[in-house]
Amino acid sequence: MSDDTPGAERDPVTEAIRALRAEAGQRPGGDSGPPGVRLAVDNDAELMRMAEALLFAAVEPLDLDTLKARLPSGADVRAVIAALQAKYQSAGIQLMEVGGRWRFQTAPDLAFLLRTEREEPRKLSQAALETLAIIAYHQPVTRAEIEDIRGVAVSRGTLDQLLEMKWIRLRGRRRSPGRPVTYGVTDGFLDYFGLASLGDLPGVSDLKAAGLLSSRLPPDFMIPEPGRILPGEEEDLFSDEEAADFHVDFLDVEEED
């Protein structure tokens, strides 16, 4: 039976939308006429569906510029992202920001469902963990600066291992005598540790609470702001091609840590 047949049951929502469309069609448009009825809800829902499809199909997190290029012209990408976050807030998957990019991932409280116990054939040594922490908090940092902070030489395999794991990268060359190479962490590092940005790294109070720092610290002890360029530390950044072609070669023979 057709919806127009007398006596047929009609969905009130459908009827309301039909009435709004009819009213919008009878009113003049443009800035000079009275404001017509805009079915923004329909447009917003379609934009959310498009962004949802892009984020689900992407093999890696997407930034706002990528989403903006794919969505219709004039789309408010930030508003769409906020709407999707609200939509999935209580769902089994959530829209999360990782390193300035967006992706769908399992809700944190359901992570135990996907957790599996397996033996890791390769673990980071204490030296590698210390080196990684120094790079994360002090980047951009040179190899000599890492050695100065740790008080021991960086072994040949430590930086190679972190580079191979794609947790650190070559940033560029410091504008200082010798033009030393500088290191920084990657989006893969942020992704693995669940950090939206370097600003989410734990501070002194967090490290103390976790038992990773002694409660008896020197009064002038501080943790640097990650990624902050201090005077005299300017660097010339590598392009992706230059970083890929660069070979780290230690000329001197060193003992492992």
3-state secondary structure the chain: CCCCCCCCCCCHHHHHHHHHHHHHHHCCCCCCCCCCCCCHHHHHHHHHHHHHHHHHHCCCCECHHHHHHHCCCCCCHHHHHHHHHHHCCCCCEEEEEECCEEEEEECHHHHHHCCCCCCCCCCCCHHHHHHHHHHHHHCCEEHHHHHHHHCCCCCHHHHHHHHHCCCEEEEEEECCCCCCEEEEECHHHHHHCCCCCHHHCCCHHHHHHCCCCCCCCCCCCCCCCCCCCCCCCCEEECCHHHHHHCCCCCCCCCCCC
Residue-level pLDDT at 35: 46
pLDDT per residue of the chain (257 residues) written in tens, 0 to 9: 445 555 556 666 667 667 666 665 555 544 444 444 444 556 888 899 999 999 999 989 999 999 999 999 888 999 999 999 999 999 999 999 988 899 999 998 998 888 887 766 667 788 888 888 888 888 888 898 889 888 888 887 888 889 988 899 888 888 888 888 889 899 898 888 888 888 778 766 666 665 555 555 555 555 555 555 555 566 667 666 666 666 554 444 444 44
Residue-level pLDDT at 255: 42
Residue-level pLDDT at 87: 92
Write down the pTM of the prediction. Answer: 0.48
Query: Which domains occur in the chain, in start order?
Result: 40-118 (1.10.10.10), 126-245 (1.10.10.10)
Pairwise CA distance, residues 174 & 232, whole Å: 9
